[in-house]
Structure formats: structure tokens, C-alpha cells
Amino acid sequence: MHIIMDVFNWLIAAGPTVLLPVIITIIGLIFGLKITRSFKSGLTLGIGFAGIKLILDFMTTNVGPAAKAMVDRTGVHLTALDVGWGSIAAVTWASPIIAILIFGILLVNIILLILKKTHTLDVDIWNYHHMAIVGVMVYFVTKNIWLGIGSSILMALITFKLADWSQPIVESFFGIPGVSLPTVSALSSLVIAWPLNWLLDRIPFMRNNKFSIKDAQKYLGFFGDSMIMGLIIGMVIGWLAGYDLMKVMQLGVSMSAVLVLIPKMTSLFMEGLMPISDAAQKWSEKRFKGRKLFIGLDAAVVVGNQDVITTALIIIPLTIAMALILPGNSVLPFADLAVVPFRVALVVALTNGNLIKNIIIGLVVTASLLWCGTATAPVLTAIAKSVGIKLGANSLYISSFAATSMIQSFIVYFAFTWHPLISIPVLIIAFAGIWYFFDGIKHVNKNMEMQDAVTD
């Protein structure tokens, strides 16, 4: 045991670029991949992490001083730079406890499926990072591994149930049957959208209006283009920082480069994890053969919808404006403006494309992202530093629209770190009540329940 701990500590000291290949190779072997295949997967993730680290260093050395100058000059107090979900995912995968969390989440899915308590088969290992980061953060704060694992397990439970409950609106609005979306980055908005939509429906005008905006894409399309977005935001920050024209333009191109390069690095993580996801899929197909299940897919499959894009293109500029005026906010929106479509996709499905409701609910979701992001930026920053990401000499924090900026993850994180003995039971009871409402009273997945009953 002593030797294992020594090896483990040595790996942690070596940093994520060494730890990741080793851990992922082991995970791959457990999933039955050949050693060469799983080692290449692991190495790919290590490379992805090295890439993310490079870009983050580049981003913070460029925008850090500018953001600081902007704060000093204008009094705009935005000190937590949104480095994007990809960077956060990289930090998550680099955690020493990631392997335990991944198997914990997978086990929750399998057990729920066997007990017929969920209909969603989620073997998209990649997207587990949304559930894992909460465990990583709880473990980092409490130093208690069980609280860490527990929080990720609860995240998983909530995620699979939200995926079940939202499946009918996904099917009816986007027209994709048999698919659910256990992607936290999209589901989390429903925590706000369900009650708020119900409330708005009490107002006849809200319920019945049929506003639509034509040509939103024509006039606002550049808000969806990372290259141009990065350039504009970089130049505005430079200008607010009081830079001269040359430095303004340099910062613009640098920030544009960041927004284009981060996804390229992040896709290495996806590529490395693909063989493992494939193996998990094959295994589960065999295990649950003949049973009809919702196939859990990444929410990426629905964000191309025109109503989603229109809503996102309106929300993106409003998000920047809100960051400036929202009291108590210190998140500087940047890299994750690119994934606003994910945050609004299920809102749009829920309201059946009601644009006015989409914008209202979308803005409340945005405010929650900014506030929760502000509240948890210091912890996230400390974790990033602990895995070797340098953030320059500036007292700059990092944040994003992912991790505990999302309301679902924030609530779970808060429950496990505030007064765990009180807040965890309260959260579990509240969730059980919601579970009873959806499955016991409303029977939202009626067809699946009937099928399960027949095969019993």
C-alpha cells in the first residue's frame, strides 16, 4: 500500500502531462482496450493538456495586464477571466481522483438502468467531466475523498434524471426520437427554466405572443463567429485599458487566436477518449440488448436549430452588457460566449420556440452563470494552479460558463461544502420530491415505463 501511495504521489508531482497518459492507459485497459490503443489514448490526452496549458499561459500573459489596466482605469471590476469550458475540462481530467469519479459516474448509470430508475444510457465518457469537476472541487476544498465522490455521484443522478425528464421536449421540439441529452451544460438551465417558464405562463401575453426575428443570423451572425468575436473583445479590452493602436490590434489578434486555438486543443481530449467511449458503448449494447433505452448524446446535436441560434445570437451581446452592470459580478465573459447556444438550447425546446420567453429565461440563466461563476472563481483558480497552470503575476482569477458556474453544479457543490451534515440531506430530500413529481405524478416517460413493465 505504501509503495502504491509513493508511486501515486510521484505521478502527481510529475504533473498532468505524465499523470494523464498513465491514468487513461489504465482506464483504457480496464475497458478492455489493447495496450497500444489505450496508451495512445492516454498520450493524446497528455498532449491535449500540454496544448491547453500553452494557450492558457498565452491568454493570461496577454489579457492579464490589459484586464488589470482596464479595471484600474475604468472601474469596471471584471477580474475573473472566462477561460472557457475546454480549459476547465482539461483541469478536470488532470485531477488525481479523476479515474475514481469516472467509474463512479458510469456505475451510477449502470445501476440506475438495472433498477429501471432511468431510461438514459450515457456512455459518452467525455461529457462526464461536467459531473466530475464538482467532485474535484469538493475534494479540493474539503480534502475529504468521500464527499468528493458523493458529490459527483449526486451530480450523475440528477443529470440522468434531468435527461429522462427533458427527453419528451427534446423529441417533440427537435424531432429526434429515442435520444436524450445528458449534457450538464445544456440540462442545467432547466433548473431555472422549468419553474420560470411555469410562472411566465401565468401571464397570457407571455404564453400567447408569437414574436419572431427574421434575419437575426444575417445581422448578428458575427457574434457566433469565434474569430471575429475574439478580435472585437480583445480590441475593446485593449482600448478600455488605454493601450495605443498598435497594442490594441495586437491584443485583438491574440484573443482571436485564443478562441480559435482552444477548441483545437480540446478536441485532442475528445479524440483520446473516443476509443474508451466506443468500448463502453459496445459493452452496454451487449448488456442491455433488447431493451429500449434513450441513447444519451451530447447536446451538440440540437444547437444547430434555427430558434436556438437566433436566441443565442441575441443573448450573447446581452451577456456582455449584463457582465458590466450586474451587481456583484466579476466574471469577464470571453471564451464561453461560444457555447451560449448550449445554455439556451433546452430553454428554447421547453418554451416551444417562444422568443420573448426564451430571452427572459435566457437572461436569468446568464445572470446565474455570472454570479455562480464569480462565487466559485477563487476555488477554480486554486485548482488550476495546483495542476501547474501558471496564471501570471496578476491577481487574476479564472472562471467559465461551465463547472460550478452552472446552477445545477453550483447547488451540489454548495451543499457539499457549506454545512454538509445539514445541506446534503436537504438537497437529497428536495431532489427526491422533484423526482416524485416528475415520475410519480406526471409520469413524463410514460411510454418507457409501460415497456419496462411489459418486459418485467
Partner 1 sequence: MPARILVACGNGIATSTVVASKIRSFMEDKGLPVDTTQTKLMEVPGKVEGFDLLVTTGEFDGKTHGVPYVKGMPILTGIGADNTFNEIYKIIKEKEG
* Contacting positions for partner 1 (CB under 8 A): 86, 126-127, 174-176, 178-179, 217, 221, 224-226, 263, 266-267, 270-271, 274, 277, 281, 295, 297-306, 309, 312, 338-339, 341-342
Nearest distance, CB of residue 285 and partner 1, angstroms: 8
The DSSP element (H or E) to which 309 belongs, if any, is helix 306-325
332: left (phi over 0), alpha (psi -120 to 50) or beta: beta
Q: Which is nearer to partner 1, 23 or 216 (CB)?
A: 216
Nearest distance, CB of residue 83 and partner 1, angstroms: 15
Nearest-angstrom CA–CA distance, 230 and 367: 22
Nearest distance, CB of residue 273 and partner 1, angstroms: 9
Q: Which is nearer to partner 1, 55 or 97 (CB)?
A: 55
The HSE-up count of residue 115 (CA atoms within 13 Å, CB side) is 9
Nearest-angstrom CA–CA distance, 19 and 91: 12
Nearest distance, CB of residue 224 and partner 1, angstroms: 3
Nearest-angstrom CA–CA distance, 419 and 412: 12
Q: Which is nearer to partner 1, 18 or 179 (CB)?
A: 179
Q: Which is nearer to partner 1, 95 or 305 (CB)?
A: 305
Q: Which is nearer to partner 1, 305 or 368 (CB)?
A: 305
Nearest distance, CB of residue 223 and partner 1, angstroms: 9
Widest CA span in the chain: 72
Helix (H/G/I), strand (E/B), else coil: 368: helix
Buried b (16+ CB within 10 A) or exposed e, 236-269: bbbbbbebeeeebebbbebbbbbbebbeebbebb
Nearest-angstrom CA–CA distance, 103 and 87: 22
Nearest-angstrom CA–CA distance, 278 and 274: 6
Nearest-angstrom CA–CA distance, 34 and 159: 31
Nearest-angstrom CA–CA distance, 423 and 164: 25
Is the Cβ–Cβ distance between 73 and 243 less than 8 Å? no
Q: Which is nearer to partner 1, 78 or 402 (CB)?
A: 402
Nearest distance, CB of residue 102 and partner 1, angstroms: 16
Nearest distance, CB of residue 99 and partner 1, angstroms: 21
Nearest distance, CB of residue 339 and partner 1, angstroms: 6
Nearest-angstrom CA–CA distance, 76 and 69: 10
Q: Which is nearer to partner 1, 11 or 228 (CB)?
A: 228
Tell me, what DSSP letter sits at residue 326?
S
Q: Which is nearer to partner 1, 149 or 344 (CB)?
A: 344
Helix (H/G/I), strand (E/B), else coil: 130: helix
Nearest distance, CB of residue 207 and partner 1, angstroms: 25
Nearest distance, CB of residue 300 and partner 1, angstroms: 3
203: left (phi over 0), alpha (psi -120 to 50) or beta: beta
- Integer-rounded Cα Rg, in Å, for the chain is 22
Q: Which is nearer to partner 1, 238 or 353 (CB)?
A: 353
Q: Which is nearer to partner 1, 122 or 439 (CB)?
A: 122
116: left (phi over 0), alpha (psi -120 to 50) or beta: left
Q: Which is nearer to partner 1, 142 or 226 (CB)?
A: 226
Nearest distance, CB of residue 281 and partner 1, angstroms: 8
Give the Å distances, CA to CA, from 262 to 89, 217, 255, 307, 430: 11, 24, 11, 27, 38
